[in-house]
Amino acid sequence: MSYNPQHGIPYINGKLYEWAKIICSIAGVTITGISAINYSETEETTNVFGAGKYPIGRRKGQITTEASITLYKDEITRLEDAAPFGRLQDYAPFDIEVHFAEDVVSKQRTDILKNCSFTNNNLSAATDNNIDAVELTLVCSHIEFGVK
């Protein structure tokens, strides 16, 4: 049986977040032609040594982010048509909001990728495949997890 780790109480219907309940928007515009979004942040953490052979503490350093979004070609074309000079890379930095809803009446959870820019635009097509989804790399300043 599935459970909600925040409350320690099992879900009645075993419902957890699902792809159909994720809403993604770029610069305030809802994106429907999306098949994946990936993002992470990493904080540099190092041990500090003093007397003895074990660390006596830790230091925190810079936080770096990695992100990508996979869009269908039709969605990319729509974004290109609205982009300055027709290039995704020429958009001014924008936020991407990822909303997770458990169900219609419950609260949403939102993650916000801040100050994003596209770093590439590419296409791969061949006679034996359809032009499906294209993964685009993003650079972001930071990520706000669990915004309410």
Is 39:24 a contact under the CB 8 Å cutoff?
no
CA atoms within 13 A on the CB side of 27: 11
Is 29:65 a contact under the CB 8 Å cutoff?
no
pLDDT, residue 97, reads 87
Residue pLDDT, tens place only, 49-108: 999 999 999 999 999 999 999 999 889 988 888 888 889 999 899 999 888 776 655 667
Q: Is the pLDDT score of 10 beyond 60?
A: no
Does the pTM of the predicted model rise above 0.85? no
Is 133:70 a contact under the CB 8 Å cutoff?
yes
What are the extents of the domains in the chain?
Answer: 12-42+63-147
Beta strand 108-118 with 133-139 is antiparallel
Can you name the residues that pair with 28 across neighbouring β-strands? none
Is 48:56 a contact under the CB 8 Å cutoff?
yes
Residue pLDDT, tens place only, 16-43: 556 556 777 787 778 888 888 999 999 9
Residue 97, burial from CB neighbour count under 10 angstroms (0-12, 13-18, 19+): middle
Is 121:81 a contact under the CB 8 Å cutoff?
no
